[in-house]
Structure 1
């Protein structure tokens, strides 16, 4: 019996390798060399744009980011604050919507498509060009559209609070499509017999959520947590990403931009490691022994 179990586990492991093989091959062919070259470039600076002549500067690019650049640290802290606030809100909202959509309600297919529609629209080139041109920017990026006359009666302080809240809601609505889809897949994988047995024992819906749904959803929660963090830090409208891009291609400081990029990358990498380590004992895998 144990030999059969080992064989099944090995087949699952091989299936996992097969699924990640296309990504691994693509990374080796198209991403590995640019990644290594950007690390090498972070210790140099471009002195000749025409022939791309480089000069070694050692750790100066990294020192410049922390000591001389007055914009890097404030932008870095601002991006971290936005991610810390938005990530739990997105996870809680997407799980709540997924639980509602998992029930047999009228128009369920329509609402599923409606919540996933921003992912399809926002990832398109046409939408990105419209945002760059300023079309709908106040609504899609800065907050839910509200007439200016409404803010005049609120006063500057209260208007700013309302505007920030609406901006946060816009981000949550715009960024939850993938998370809702993943939560729905996880909810549909939970056996109905578990809920039926709990109801026979007199458990309430609230108790079933905390004792059955939430523990079994912890792997999906971890997956969505990692995805949301990466998506937040690498979003095209992220001010840190825009600053690095402008430094490289507008100011032609590619070495310094590479240095900032690697500082940013290492922070995200360490953050994800801490997430995995801190949640290791909280995640429930039903397939484990």
Structure 2
């Protein structure tokens, strides 16, 4: 007696049911519980977690008294704003090269993606500690001193941090390169053939055809890069939240508040990027 459309919808929901159960049990419930704890002073007692309501005190403490968190967040934000264009432009450049037909193309694509597979947080940390993640030009030509002397400290330190981890940051471009290659392959060859017949140069073809066509993929890669960088293994805010979680003076309640402040800031940054880039995204008529 159930209509056909509702039966089809029911089948779809049945397939989604395992994911919905996992989402509620392992994502929504922990998120809601952490938000609840952010308004409490959480103590670990012999009887379990003891919670004392403190209202917005944890959030006020983060901005008004925990100066280290504010400084960390400002530094991470500045470095992320520098990383985003570097990774996006590098990934686009490599993707355009790897989109050409040449012998061994699949091998080169695999080489650029291998660091994403093998470069775990521990591996990256060890490479970075050995000083292999930066550029030799910083030491050879004393670029660090030049930057510190000519730029204000507010921008010099984030820029030097970016250059010191420049190689490792480029290793994180594997996923972005694949996304760009997928976007480039959605552009029909007939469009390029028509542009060539009209006398367009490769430079003009890139700016008039390629770049507008992959503009949605540029925005997608920017969003992916933002999320990826804010969970980067060297991110000091993540370490600071973990430290406060086990600290007897702050505990789970304050750490939860820091996590929600961090999440809100990242979410707002994503909304800003979407709002700014919306008018630059090219949509194809079907």
- Give the TM-score category using the shorter length: 0.7 to 0.9
Aligned counterparts of 1:184 and 1:158: Cα–Cα separation in 2: 37
1:246, distance to aligned residue in structure 2 (A): 1.2
1:20, distance to aligned residue in structure 2 (A): 8.8
Aligned counterparts of 1:19 and 1:111: Cα–Cα separation in 2: 38
Aligned counterparts of 2:188 and 2:49: Cα–Cα separation in 1: 60
Q: Does 1:143 align with 2:134?
A: yes
1:62, distance to aligned residue in structure 2 (A): 0.3
1:21, distance to aligned residue in structure 2 (A): 8.2
Q: Does 1:114 align with 2:102?
A: no
Deviates more, 1:17-26 or 1:258-267: 17-26
1:157 to 126, 141, 145: 145
Decide whether the 8 Å contact of 1:86 with 1:168 is kept in 2.
Answer: no
1:49, distance to aligned residue in structure 2 (A): 3.6
Q: Does 1:43 align with 2:63?
A: no
- 1:34 matched to which residue of 2? 30
Decide whether the 8 Å contact of 1:248 with 1:257 is kept in 2.
Answer: yes
Q: Does 1:171 align with 2:159?
A: no
1:284, distance to aligned residue in structure 2 (A): 1.7
1:173, distance to aligned residue in structure 2 (A): 1.7
1:135, distance to aligned residue in structure 2 (A): 5.8
Per-residue displacement from partner, 1:208-246 (whole Å, max 9, x unpaired)? Answer: 111110111011111101100011112232111111111
2:210 to 210, 213, 220: 213
1:139, distance to aligned residue in structure 2 (A): 3.8
TM-score (norm 1): 0.81
1:105, distance to aligned residue in structure 2 (A): 2.4
CA-based RMSD of the aligned residues comes to 3.0
Decide whether the 8 Å contact of 1:151 with 1:159 is kept in 2.
Answer: no
2:278 is paired with a residue whose SS is: coil
Deviates more, 1:91-100 or 1:109-118: 109-118
Alignment of structure 1 residues 1-289 onto 2, 5 Å:
26-50=22-46, 51-123=48-120, 128-130=121-123, 134=126, 137-139=129-131, 142-144=133-135, 146=136, 151=139, 154=142, 157-158=145-146, 164=161, 166-251=163-248, 253-286=251-284, 288=285
Per-residue displacement from partner, 1:246-285 (whole Å, max 9, x unpaired)? Answer: 1113556111111111111111111111222222222122
Number of residue pairs matched? 264
Aligned counterparts of 1:216 and 1:154: Cα–Cα separation in 2: 41
TM-score (norm 2): 0.82
1:279 is paired with a residue whose SS is: helix
Q: Structure 1's 23 and 242: CA in aligned 2 closer, same or farther, altered over 3 A?
A: farther
Per-residue displacement from partner, 1:88-107 (whole Å, max 9, x unpaired)? Answer: 11000100000000011232
For structure 1, list consecutive stretches of 5 or more residues without a partner in the other structure. Answer: 1-16
1:121, distance to aligned residue in structure 2 (A): 0.7
Q: Structure 1's 217 and 20: CA in aligned 2 closer, same or farther, altered over 3 A?
A: farther
Decide whether the 8 Å contact of 1:248 with 1:254 is kept in 2.
Answer: yes
Q: Structure 1's 19 and 189: CA in aligned 2 closer, same or farther, altered over 3 A?
A: farther
For structure 2, list consecutive stretches of 5 or more residues without a partner in the other structure. Answer: 1-12, 149-155
- 1:10 matched to which residue of 2? none
